[in-house]
Amino acid sequence: MKTWEEYITEDIYGEHGEVYTKVDVACPYCGEPLYKRTDTILAIYPPQYQYKCKECGWSGYARK
């Protein structure tokens, strides 16, 4: 279980106020950790989230 301090410092805010959470997945191009955008979900079936690499700028979408 996470501590309170870990939980409240988990989210990373983007340039325009979007909220990202670090996930345990490596970027397919540079190998750095990916961040999942948690303030927006694509309204398709099944719903999808945006993932982004802060290092190289890669982004993609997935159901998880």
Tell me how many domains the chain contains: 1
Mean pLDDT for the chain overall: 83
Residue 21: per-residue pLDDT? 86
For residue 43, the tally of other CB atoms under 10 A from its CB is 7
> pLDDT over 90 for what percent of the chain?
44
**Gyration radius of the chain over CA positions:** 12
Q: Which range of residues forms the domain containing residue 51?
A: 4-62
pLDDT tens-place string over residues 7-37: 655 556 666 667 888 888 999 999 999 999 9
- From CA 51, how far away is CA 59, in angstroms rounded? 5
Stated pTM of the model = 0.73
46 cis-preceded (ω within 30 degrees of 0)? yes
Which DSSP category does 56 fall into? T
